[in-house]
Structure 1
Amino acid sequence: MEELKGNAAESEAQPTPAHVENGNDFEAEDLALMEQFLNDPAHDYRNLKYGDTVDGLIMRVERDEILVDIGSKAEGIVPSREMQSLAAEDRAALQVGDPLLVFVVQSEDKEGRAILSIDKARQERSWRLLQAAYEKGEVISARVVNYNKGGLLVNLEGVRGFVPASQVSGISRGPDTQKQSDMARMVNTDLRLKVIELNRNRNRLILSERQAMQESRESKKDELLASLREGDVREGTISSVCDFGAFVDIGGADGLVHMSEISWSRVKHPGEVLNVGDHLLVMILSIDHERKRIALSIKRTQHEPWSRVGERYQLGQVVEGVITQLTSFGAFARIEDGVEGLIHISEMGDEPMQHPREFLAEGAVVQARIIRIDPTRKRMGLSLRVNRESGEDVDESGEQGE
């Protein structure tokens, strides 16, 4: 018994081996190594789920599928049915190592690979960009791919949008046949558009070309107004004609040509001499920066006819004129654009009359003799008594005419 106790005491007195004594240190070291391994980005696999949009790298391109590294434990596959939105030339351009945005359709198939979609990824990205454009009020560009009875269909990287016919400036408001013809002509063209309604849950996207154009014009108008100076002569295009004048587009802004500034000749209605689409020169008369209005003149880009009357005409000269207006005291006859003379009722003949209409009609062509000229006051007196002796006529100053 004493021997056993002695052996036990001796055994307790012997030192503990180092690997046993430092067991806690070994465990801490192993945990640190494990943590380092897990924190290494090379071993940081993504836990993907349906709906995730991931930036991947193309590993292999095959006829029916594309192998993509998406940072998961296994590569993902894009089957051919999930890349229908890629044009043939875009698909042919795909190369190994290229970045590729994909949408997770299935996190894992039987082989442990994720099923991915290029179509849904492009659509997801488009919705996000459209939402941002809608919130910021930005103008975007889209291609017309088709049309229906109500308007145009556009494609925005996988998102189908609708542009009502009423929101397209190039579609007439006439018969349906004309509308359909206008819309057919616009297929495969690009339009500048603004998002006016977006509802992703209902897959609804409504756009307007008119609003985009209006905003663009407003921006250009501000720039144009800042650059204009009174007296400038600009090229323009008639955009509309109304009773009191015509509006002319001078490169981003419309200015008004009042009826009195259309021609040096008498004009009863702007539509007599102007048509929408006509190209012409206009002079800037005034600019209202606060109200953003521009007053224009067509006639002031041309020579003022009365400035040459003294050179071209003389007393006693017989000229041809067109009756433009009848009044109770006489008739006005145009002898050239911007130059009219008055035929007083007393100079129409020897027979008494109550009104010139008894003798003349508007539009009639007459031969008349000049009996008075006053270029300064822009007045000319005419007489239909062309065979009368010149010594019997007097001018406005009372001096005998020629």
Structure 2
Amino acid sequence: MSRGEPSQGDSPPPMDEGWWASVFHDEARNPLESGRRNPPPGAERNGSAPAEDWLWARRLYEADEPIDLPVIGHNRGGLLVQAQALRGFVPVSHLLEVPPGLGEADRSRALAAMVGRTLRLKVIEYDPERGRLVLSERAAQAAPGSRTQVLEGLRASQHVRGTITNLTAFGAFVDLGGIEGLIHVSELCWGRVRHPADVVHCGETVEAVVLSVDPEQGRIALSRKLLEPDPWQTAEARFHVGDLVEGTVTNVVKFGAFVGLEKGLEGLIHVSELGEGPLTDPRSSVREGERVCARVVRVDAASRRIALSLRDARPALEAPSESTQDREPETVSPL
């Protein structure tokens, strides 16, 4: 991991508990993707484990020390290990020998081949009340105590570099050297992101800006989009009411179509602006990936909105009649 000094000037917006709450809520809706904060397999058995075993796990977690544990089983999300009387869970994204992007069948074979082996692991999540003990082979590659060093050394606005270890519907986890940070999907770039896999991939080295650090909870919130200027800050200087602009349809919804005008900036063609007469289904007029020419009808950079009209642009694009052949054609901005 490489870290830069906190930048002078503007600081990133703080991440409150509501931000993390939304992350955990999304995780609960995507258990197969996260394999992380939902109760791991075997957690129900940990409820009856002796208190001294939980104290042992707590000491390992607080000391950030590795431990060798036997693999006793596997499921779609990772491996089960025996930790004294506790059952521990190792998410597949925290295993060194299972490459990212494997199909389900290949991943299952790779996990099954590891049953019976002993792995060097670190405790990365410890929650006796919920019976959860989560471990990582990847984190065990870092020296003991590195997690505390990373947490104590990070500051908001700092630039960091790490390796993406896991992608979920709600964001990308980044290994910072003994501990992971999270780039929420909304912080990957300024534009719309359907899924983090559309812009980053597991194993990729990325740079990011630290949004917030919570040493007690071991949480690090990161942003990738803050490395680039916000295109909306200068949108009103580049887009004006009446302009003809070109773009690509990025998403079609029941109330209209979003059009990508430039990197990180989209406009909306409301369903009422797609054509003449009533239109109940925008998909009958445009489709995703289609290049369109539209007229700007409203710009509100503060609200991050540009309203477009396909209907108003058509007269300007039609072939000129005999009475208007000498008229200068309107210029279309190819954004």
Residue in 1 that maps onto 2:260: 334
Residue by residue, what CA displacement relative to the aligned partner does 1:290-335 show, whole Å, maximum 9, x if unpaired? Answer: 1111111111121111012122222222212122222332211111
Runs ≥4 residues deviating over 6 A: 137-140, 175-179
Alignment of 1:1-400 (within 5 A): 169-172=95-98, 174=106, 214=140, 216=142, 219-384=145-310, 385-388=312-315
Name the CA shift for 1:248/1:375 in 2 (closer, same or farther; >3 Å).
same
Task: Answer yes or no: is the 8 Å Cα contact 1:286–1:296 preserved in 2.
Answer: yes
Distance in 1 between residues matched to 2:98 and 2:186, nearest whole Å? 31
Instruction: Evaluate the alpha carbon distance shift between residue 310 and residue 169 of structure 1 in structure 2; reply closer, same or farther with a 3 A threshold.
Output: same
Matched letter for residue 254 of structure 1: E
**Root-mean-square deviation (Å):** 3.8
SS at match of 1:353: coil
Q: Which has the higher contact order (CA 8 A, sep 6+)?
A: 2
Letter in 2 for 1:233: H
TM-score normalized by the length of structure 2: 0.53
Q: Distance in 2 between matches of 1:211 and 1:344?
A: 50
Counterpart CA distance in 2 for 1:172 and 1:362 is 35
What's the secondary structure of 1:376's corresponding residue? Answer: helix
What number of residue pairs does the alignment pair up? Answer: 208
Q: CA 1:256 to 1:217, structure 2 compared with 1: closer, same or farther past 3 Å?
A: farther
Residue identity (%):
37
Q: Distance in 2 between matches of 1:313 and 1:250?
A: 40
Letter in 1 for 2:313: V
Deviation at 1:232, TM superposition (A): 1.0
2:43 aligns with none
What code does the residue aligned with 1:250 have? L
Q: Provide the rounded CA distance (Å) in 2 between the counterparts of 1:369 and 1:175.
A: 49
Q: TM-score, normalised by structure 1?
A: 0.45
**Structure 1: 5+ residue stretches without partners:** 1-136, 141-165, 180-191, 195-209, 390-402
Kept in 1, the 8 Å contact 2:65–2:144? The answer is: no
2:298 is aligned with what amino acid? R
Give CA-to-partner distance per residue, 1:337-382, whole Å, 9 cap, x none. Answer: 2211111222211142112111112222211111111111211111
Structure ID, larger Rg: 1
Q: Flag the 1:249–1:350 CA change in 2: closer, same or farther, 3 A.
A: same
> 2: CA distance between counterparts of 1:139 and 1:345?
58
Following the alignment from structure 2 to structure 1, what is the Cα–Cα distance between the partners of residues 108 and 281?
52
SS of the residue corresponding to residue 303 of structure 2 reads coil
